[in-house]
Structure 1
Amino acid sequence: MYGMPGAMAGGAVRSPFLCECGGLLDVVREWSGIDSEQLKRVWDERLSERMTPYAGGVWRYKELIFPDLEARWITTKYEGNTGLYPSESLARLAGVRKLLLKAQSENPSGSFKDNGMTVAVSHGRSLGYKRFTCTSTGNTSASLAMYAAIGGCSSHVFLPGRHISPNKVRQTAAYGAELIRFDGTYDDGIRFSERYSERLGLYVCNSINPFRIEGQKSIVYEIAHQLGWQLPDWIVLPGGALSNAAALGKGLLELKQLGFIDKLPRVAIVQAEGASPFHRMVAGGRSVLTPEANPHTVAFALNIGNPPSWKKALRSVIGGLNGVTAAVSDAEIMEAKALIDRSGIGCEPASAASLAGLKQLADRGIVDAEETAVCILTGHLLKDTEAVSYQENLAAADLTWESVNGLLSRG
């Protein structure tokens, strides 16, 4: 599919991942010969793998991710295999009977992007590409730079001039990416990438790439596998570019269609109030998204005013799964982050939107107190250390037996 550009006015080239109608392309497979029970046994056996692609939590499910890709092109760092942690205290605070946190922050580059990026880079390499690109506020670029380096390729990252995490930029640079800074927003970079990357010989790894979506489906496959193929009542996740929402929606519907699960959960997409065009569209009963020209939120990964995957998320999550949306304030996000950090798991601000959103939905009576939920944590605590506020309990000058003993006694 990639490598067949369409002409555009002004000598530019339309991205091969865009339909002539302007929408995003999707990977559609004719499923045949799928035996869900037999595949469950195969996937159980692969849990013992150590040094093969099947040792990871993405390529373990290759039959539903990219069945026809030759093994020699798989570019992996054994991504996935992330923890699913129950928390009784956070369940009580959120107002649900049982809560589990899916820590995608435990991925090799520290975010959920790895689940999709391993597939995108593998696909690009199979087509002969050596130069990979993305526009990013941080997590995507770090993941791309890591996989490109593993595959012996180069990465070229377009960075918006503001509202990005310095730590993520440093991580991207450390993996050897060429950083191309521009004065504009994430959405400006995406538009440039859509028009010119093919002519520049760059393989695009943003969420407009449908193979990214295929890889990110593995998140919900792994949740289902970890829970014995019995999913919770709700899956709650942050919504920025909405690729993860689109992927989880697609993955859940396929699991049900192919007989891996009997019951579908509902899905809640949570955006930051300062960058919530999708929520405003759904809440207003509209079917067309109005972009936000100047999105702003402390959760930089959610700072997207024109999410590329909104049509896919609307179709699969809202339409297919009876999903809902919510918008939470920066204050709610940071409060939820502090609670997740102190639970011993930790996350970046964008991840905490899932817990903040779940609490809001429970307070509104949309999520019932007797229901169960999984919150997706998308990025690592150290992705954005500027958002971490430490309260020093004891200064070095006060380091005496009496002062330490008094502090411990109060705890």
Structure 2
Amino acid sequence: MTVFDVSPRSTDLRERLSAFMAEHIYPNEAEIARQINTGDRWQHLPLIDELKPRAQEAGLWNLFLPPASSRDGKYGAGLSNLEYAGLCEIMGRVWWAPEVFNCSAPDTGNMEVLSRYGTPEQQEQWLIPLLNGEIRSAFSMTEPDVASSDATNIQSSITRDGEDYVINGEKWWTSGAGDPRCVISIFMGKTEPQAERHLQQSMILVPLDAPGVTKERMLTVFGYDDAPHGHAQMGFKDVRVPATNMLLGEGRGFEIAQGRLGPGRIHHCMRLIGQAERALELMVQRASQRVAFGKTLLGHQHVREAIAESRMEIDQARLLTMNAAHMMDTVGNKAARGQIAAIKVVAPNVALRVIDRAIQVYGGAGVSQDTPLAMMYAQARTLRLADGPDIVHAETVAKVEIGRQGVGGSRSA
């Protein structure tokens, strides 16, 4: 028995999820594209609304919620990080699939935050509708005017004024804000600029219809607008929310962030591995059918080498990610921080290499809308930045390794 053995229940869920994807997701990729490009791009998609009840009926809903956040088993499957990782890979093969199962970011991270740190009142108002798939949410952290790879740079302010907090700041890459059902955002800002470096920040719930909240523009990712989900640049000008909207307490923003980002990074990485697997499948299919210089592409050594390299790299990335998930389950997020950082560097880079090889095998079709490869490449490249850039995670890996070997490091002034 290996450390990566999962429960029979998780195996059953994998089989049922794969069957659902085969019946309802892959056959509808062209229809989703048609719906996005018909009429208002920023309206939610009727087909996804039709598929959600089917996913619920199939018992494939809120699969991401771990036992500690499953609200006494009423919501979610109560799976460990390791058990959910394999399911996340399957959903990640199609960019819009996770929403069908109520397992898409940033809602998943926000629901975990509300489950772990929200008051009963906050949970009743926001968590329950999110768990039911009735609303969507956003996460407002990154800012355009500072290097947000160091989150202590964040300058947005959260100031107490009687029974309220007043919020001011500029945020961007507020993913999900394009959807008209997105009604709440978790906002990170400074409550005490003079406090110790990692105790200055707090997180607070901000309704997006509050006076002073403006959606300034929707951002594109390599030209893709990711409608109807999207990524917004948001303005917050003298936004007033009740003091009861504070999460956990003033100065605890980094504590919440660490609880939120660990599982989220596992999810991102496993979805990327799902994309890489699909890219490899597409590569082999294309190479078996396309003829060049008198033989199929599979007959050319450099194509076979691309397939072999892709197979080996995907398997390495998956094992590394599963190991990080296993460590999170057994020793906790803090002890697994080196492994979590490592996968956040490895998985996007592996996905990029595999997708790039598939594009090369497809030729001109690979960069067109006729395959999912171009969008997959854009998403994978973005995830070398989202949740922290490569260099920040590599620095964490180095620090953990230096500490493991008991060697003293040095800090520059």
Normalising by the smaller structure, the TM-score range is under 0.3
The normalised TM-score by structure 2 is: 0.26
| Higher helix proportion | 2
The normalised TM-score by structure 1 is: 0.26
